[in-house]
């Protein structure tokens, strides 16, 4: 992560820089001036600003933090403070800070806070609802539709239910009785399930669904 340190105690700033670099981050600049911090956000484009909340001078750390948050909403601000009382927390909230680090700095706390900031900046995308199956087939769990090379394959309601539960549990065998209960909502013989699977495999490919006498059935995905 690209980090700007705004701290008016040079020893603390350099110590913080060393710890950040040990964690693999890049410190693009250190400044003790609020106005310079704002200009560096313009020119250096940091992803994270570590801001001393009680910065000395005409403009406080809290004031410049609010200005940075308003003008550069993509930048994450983390306050640096020696205090953790209610007033400091209110400062952080009012200045739209993401978090704060307490002095003296501890590398584990810095690492955890930076990881949280990284997750905030680059959230993990939700898992795909499109499951790639054997021989070019694709099942869309959201739309409940089966495709082969963008061509939709007709499915009966029970076939959809079968593919739903198998794809939701891709990589695992689903017991026969659980499949029967999910599809029909009542006790049915395993013959009904076997007949349904036979019809689906005949319409698509014989390898679409794997079977095990002891474990049940499993969908065949292209990454297996």
Q: Decide: helix, strand or coil at residue 21.
A: helix
Are 80 and 152 within one domain? no
Cis ω for the linkage preceding 108 (within 30 of 0): no
Residues 92, 99: Cα–Cα separation, whole Å: 7
Do 101 and 152 lie in a common domain? no
- 91 & 177 share domain: no
For range 24-52, the mean pLDDT: 93
pLDDT tens digit string along 129-153? 889 998 999 999 999 999 998 899 9
Last residue of a domain, one of 99, 121, 143: 121
Please state, as a whole number, how many other Cβ atoms lie within 10 Å of the Cβ of residue 151: 7
Q: DSSP class of residue 77?
A: E
Percent of the chain with pLDDT strictly greater than 90: 61
Measured CA to CA, the distance from residue 136 to residue 119 in angstroms comes to 34
Together in a domain, 88 and 150: no
Q: What is the pLDDT, as a whole number, of residue 109?
A: 93
Same domain, yes or no: 89 and 116: yes
Which percentage of the chain shows pLDDT scores above 70?
92
Indicate if the pLDDT at residue 187 is higher than 80. Answer: no
Q: Indicate the average pLDDT of the chain.
A: 89
> Which of residues 98, 121, 144 is at a domain's end?
121
Distance CA 218, CA 141 (A): 16
What pLDDT does residue 224 have?
55
Compute CA distances 88 → 37, 73, 76, 106, 215, whole Å: 21, 21, 18, 19, 58
Q: What angle do CA 88, 89, 93 make, to 5 degrees?
A: 120
pLDDT of residue 85: 63
Average pLDDT over residues 174-202: 89
pLDDT of residue 211: 93
Predicted pLDDT at 100: 84
Q: What is the pLDDT of residues 86-132, one digit of tens each?
A: 666 676 677 778 888 888 889 999 999 999 999 988 887 666 688 99
Q: Under a CB-based contact definition with an 8 Å cutoff, are residues 21 and 27 in contact?
A: yes
Q: Which residues contact 38 (CB under 8 A, 6 or more apart)?
A: 64, 67, 68, 71
Token pair, residue 23, equals 């964690």
Q: How many CB atoms lie within 10 A of CB 74?
A: 7
**Of 82, 104, 121, which one is at a domain's C-terminal end?**
121
Q: Are residues 137 and 64 in the same domain?
A: no
Which range among 45-54, 88-97, 160-169, 176-185 shows the weakest confidence by mean pLDDT? 88-97
Statement to judge: residues 194 and 111 lie in one domain: no
- Verify that 25 and 94 share a domain, yes or no: yes
What is the domain range of residue 138? Answer: 130-219
Rg, C-alpha atoms of the chain = 28
For 104-171, what is the HEC assignment? CCCHHHHHHHHHHHHHHHCCCCCCCCEEEEHHHEEEECCCCEEEECCEEECCCHHHHHHHHHHHHCCC
**Domain shared by 56 and 10, yes or no:** yes
| 138 and 116 assigned to the same domain | no
Q: What is the CATH number of the domain that holds 156?
A: 1.10.10.10
User: Does residue 4 register a pLDDT over 70?
Assistant: yes
> What's the number of domains the chain is made of?
2
- Amino acid 57: pLDDT: 72
Phi then psi for residue 29, to 5 deg, are: -170, 160
Question: What does the pLDDT look like over 54-92, one tens digit per residue?
Answer: 777 767 787 888 899 899 989 999 998 887 666 666 766
* Residues 62 and 112 reside in one and the same domain: yes
Instruction: Supply the pLDDT for residue 55.
Output: 78
């Amino acid at each position: 992560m690209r980090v700007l340190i705004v701290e008016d105690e040079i020893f603390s700033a350099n110590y913080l820089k060393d710890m950040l670099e040990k964690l693999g981050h890049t410190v693009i600049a250190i400044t003790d001036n609020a106005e310079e911090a704002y200009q560096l956000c313009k020119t250096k484009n940091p992803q994270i600003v570590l801001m001393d909340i009680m910065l000395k001078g005409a403009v406080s750390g809290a004031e410049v933090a609010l200005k940075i948050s308003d003008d550069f909403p993509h930048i994450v601000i983390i306050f640096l403070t020696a205090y953790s009382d209610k007033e400091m927390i209110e400062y952080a909230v009012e200045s739209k800070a993401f978090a704060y680090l307490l002095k003296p700095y501890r590398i584990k706390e810095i690492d955890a806070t930076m990881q949280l900031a990284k997750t905030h900046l680059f959230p993990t995308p939700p898992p795909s609802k499109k499951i790639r199956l054997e021989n070019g087939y694709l099942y869309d769990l959201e739309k409940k539709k089966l495709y082969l090379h963008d061509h939709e394959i007709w499915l009966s309601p029970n076939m959809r239910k079968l593919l739903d539960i198998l794809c939701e549990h891709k990589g695992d065998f689903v017991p026969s009785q659980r499949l029967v209960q999910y599809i029909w909502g009542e006790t049915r013989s395993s013959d009904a399930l076997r007949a349904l699977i036979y019809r689906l495999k005949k319409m698509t490919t014989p390898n679409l669904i794997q079977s095990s006498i002891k474990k049940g059935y499993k969908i065949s995905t292209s990454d297996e």
